[in-house]
Amino acid sequence: MNADGLDEAEVRERIAAARCLAVLTGAGVSAESGVPTFRDAQTGLWARFRPEELATPEAFRARPAFVWDWYLHRRRSLADVKSNAAHEALADWARRHPGRMTLITQNVDGLHQRAGSTGVLALHGDLMRDQWLEPPRDCCDDGELDAGPPPRCPHCGNLRRPAVVWFGEMLPVDALEAAQRAAQRCQVMLVVGTSGAVHPAAGLAITARRSGAFVVVVNPDQTELDAVADLCLRGSAATLLPRLLSD
């Protein structure tokens, strides 16, 4: 067995022994489903678009139709996308080991849920849903909208916006607190397909390590969390996760 094989064997053993396994995923877990990541130098969304023009509340208020249409395009491009072996390995493991996995994702594509994972802590929201921009008034009814874009309340003009977390916004408190609790109590954390560039999500790996968990990065490339990890497995999520989670 080569060194990678030994490392994988160690991770499998640690997972088998863990009462609580936390998994933090990012865009790379969906890359093999054909969903672009954010920071890939060629194909990443942020290589082609400027986040400050598309992923902030200020950008939406300045150009609501433009931003709405960009998210609508992303939403439509997900319609035919299928979950891959990485999403499925996670869902299968959680089914076989009820109550032991906390799956935390930065992804808004819903592919973990489509693969059958339940209780996913979606820290950055859900691209398939929208919500009111301003706190809804009595007249705001999402069953009665002017088409837009963006769709809006015909009475007060309140706009619908994508239900994703933009830069400068708070993460959903319940999901973040549940994720922090899992990071504190897990014995193993897998950090899969994330550059680790965005906080507070990336900070969960640091919390896990400080709390005594064995932290494993699964990524074909270097990440900002490599220094935090006990072990870095270089490879794709759809190749490595089925091997790590097959028991």
Number of residues engaging ligand OAD in binding (CB under 6 A):
25
Residue 26 binding ligand OAD, by CB under 6 A = yes
The yes-or-no answer on residue 124 being catalytic is yes
CA–CA gap between residue 188 and residue 182 (Å, rounded): 10
Q: Considering only residues 7, 10, 12, 44, which one is a binding residue for ligand OAD as defined by CB under 6 A?
A: 44
Q: Which residues between 105 and 134 bind ligand OAD (CB under 6 A)?
A: 106, 124
Residue (of 233, 236, 235, 225) closest to 24 by Cα position = 225
Q: Considering only residues 7, 10, 39, 243, which one is a binding residue for ligand OAD as defined by CB under 6 A?
A: 39
Q: How far is CA 14 from CA 137, 171, 189, 219, 245, in A?
A: 51, 30, 10, 19, 11
Q: Which residues between 182 and 201 bind ligand OAD (CB under 6 A)?
A: 193-195, 197-198
Query: What phi, psi does 66 have (nearest 5°)?
Result: -60, -50
Residue (of 127, 133, 149) closest to 71 by Cα position = 127
Residue closer to ligand OAD by CB (options 9, 47) is: 47
Residue 220 binding ligand OAD, by CB under 6 A = yes
Peptide bond preceding 200 in cis form (omega within 30 of 0) = yes
Q: Please report, as ranges, the residues that interact with ligand OAD according to CB under 6 A.
A: 26-28, 31-32, 37-39, 44, 51, 55, 106, 124, 165, 193-195, 197-198, 219-221, 223, 236-237
Q: State the catalytic residues.
A: 124
